[in-house]
Amino acid sequence: MVWTILVAAGKGSRFGGPKQLTEVGGRSLIDIALDVAMPLSDGVVLVVPQQNSTDMARSGCVVVSGGETRSDSVRAGLARVPIEADFVLVHDVARPMASRELFSRVIAALEDGEVAVVPVVPVVDSLKRLSDASGLVAVPREGIFAAQTPQGFSAAALRELHAAGLDTTDDSTAAEKIGIRVFGVAGETHNFKITTHADLAVANALWDVGVGGNT
């Protein structure tokens, strides 16, 4: 049994306000995420800001209010996942370009026996580290990847890592911190996070040429 937690409880401070109802391809980020996740899930928990819970409520899923941090919000969603669930996916609604094929790839890795799965893409930019003595110093990018969502876990592993009460930027980082092995699957270069209005413009342009959607 697969359940998906859709995290949509952010305040959107860098975006200039809540972005969950912002549209890509004429549809809100929440509705896009639900359309992708629901056909592949036995149940979906949508985590929304407490002050916007009415506006963001959707039928066909469990809607809960999030917390102060992303980790708090995932824990709020996890509390509504049935104990019978085998696997749980956690996906940021702010990544509207994620495909159903990507969701399926994460689920397949879980069904093959992995307990923590994260989609990754290679880092292509040159990386620099700031050194007090030398200024900017090159960091080799070989073997360096950018993590995406949906991230998948055995339900037991996700409950274990959140029981530790860690506050991290994503769940795979929390898994690493408590010693859970994280397995990588191929992500999608277009599966970026909407953080600024420029990101939104790029997403709409890609959508218009057929990249993204419920593929």
**pLDDT tens digits, one per residue of 50-59:** 876 666 778 8
Write down the residue that tokens 């030398």 correspond to: 134
Residue (of 183, 186, 203) closest to 194 by Cα position: 203
The pLDDT tens digits for 86-119 are 999 999 999 999 999 999 999 999 999 999 999 9
| Type of residue numbered 178 | I
Q: What is the pLDDT of residue 141?
A: 83
Non-local CB neighbours of 191 within 8 Å, separated by 6+ positions? 95, 97, 98, 99, 102, 119, 121, 148
Q: Please state the φ and ψ torsions of residue 157, each to the nearest 5 degrees.
A: -65, -40
> What percentage of the chain has pLDDT greater than the value 70?
95
C-alpha 194: how far from its chain's center? 11
Q: What is the pLDDT of residue 52?
A: 64
In order of 21, 86, 91, 130, 163, the CA distances from 178 in angstroms are 35, 20, 21, 28, 11
The answer to whether residue 69 is domain-embedded is: yes
159 lies in a domain?
Answer: yes
**The CATH number of the domain where 75 resides is what?**
3.90.550.10
**16 in a structural domain:** yes
Structural domain total, the chain: 1
Show the tokens assigned to 104.
């399926």
Assess if residue 215 is contained within a domain. no
Judge whether 213 lies within some domain: no
Helix (H) or strand (E) holding 195: none
Classify residue 77 by burial, with Cβ atoms within 10 Å: 0-12, 13-18, 19+: buried
Domain that holds residue 72: 2-208
* Residue 155 lies inside a defined structural domain of this protein: yes
Query: Residue 167: is its pLDDT beyond 80?
Result: yes
Q: Does 19 fall in a domain?
A: yes
pTM, two decimal places: 0.93
Is 119 inside a domain boundary? yes
Is a pLDDT exceeding 70 seen at residue 13?
no
